[in-house]
A and B are shown apart, each in its own frame.
Chain A
């Protein structure tokens, strides 16, 4: 059993990465022009070069800050509006068309409109917020609506206060699905913020550095920044999943 787990959880992902890197090496060697496709080794060298530059850390921190701030604002608002929707069927129906419109709005339209309406320093926040807000709203609303109605009925029958219901029933019940949604949305937010930074040419941002690398056809640097973005998204997703595990243990979920 332990051996099977080792194969599935550790060896299989490693094998997948090895195959991917081998194919990358082979294709880069076949093309033979690092300006078009640098090898994984060239990319790693560029990545370590970036790690030695002070601007790298500032750009990563600034991008991370923009991502988290937009995300937190979107999440708080999503929770408030989902709460209103749970409490009032009228509000839910009234808000539904707006939520759907924002959800199906093409991301590129959002980006282009926001670039017209807002300054480049603000644009990444607004773009990330607009795109992820409906995703978070749907996640929180679904989780709240899936709380066991029998337990809600029991709480109503025993006149359990709303505060206690929220603390001991709603929050623990909603945590697994909301955190799964958050882990997906958060790594998506990193991608979105960087895309917005590229198009808005935001100062001191990962997107701006990537845009410059692309303009000067420094493909290995561009890939190194991409690697940094992947690591950032991966770390955020991992942290949320770790939090989910810890909270599941805390609440003794069966």
Chain B
């Protein structure tokens, strides 16, 4: 009798479990998540086939150009974007700024990006993401960094790349590094795993899991410098689960066309004929800056550890 009453009231229902948090990014796989700065751009992104939007006040290219401290967006902007679209809405908080994260959670965003694109609030500690009901995505340059974030409760990973440059070289470097390290891990004898965990500064339990399954325990996207359909397909062929496009779309000549093209390229990443077709007449890509031309101080990927 007791069980029946319970079931009628759905009292065995649980929100915010690790399974539920990891599942949202699973639904976004083979999709494109686009940076948008207002409701109008969000609608264009949704109509072009984006699986989610990242609500920001400035895209990374403008954050670079403007300088100064970059913080969480005005909640008013996030609310407007949430009202404009039916797809998931993500937003960024500064590394370590758990109060910005609490605010975003209360606004009902679907996922929080603890992002190196904003100015870090804490140079030593990242957010304890396991405390939150909604999933976090975090950037990483290598496997150790990815597994530390997962250890803190991140439900999704992405490469850091070098945001706001339009130069894909760092996203490729980080994707190759992470996926290469995973492949290596699967062939190491078990007695070497503890030392490996110590050397890369990663939680041992998660190292064991990755060694056994040959993949991260969460969805892994590429981000940082993707500007063309070919860039998106390149990262997909390297083995990521989907892509973030930041400045690449709305800093280009024809955002709508480019957005649609990148969506198609992410699905048909293995089909050069489709890639050729969607790459035609896209107009000007974002101007971009080569990563090599950046001063050490200008690189964002080194933020966080």
Q: Do A and B come from one complex?
A: no
Which residue numbers of B lie inside 8 Å of A, CB to CB?
Answer: none
Which residue numbers of A lie inside 8 Å of B, CB to CB?
Answer: none
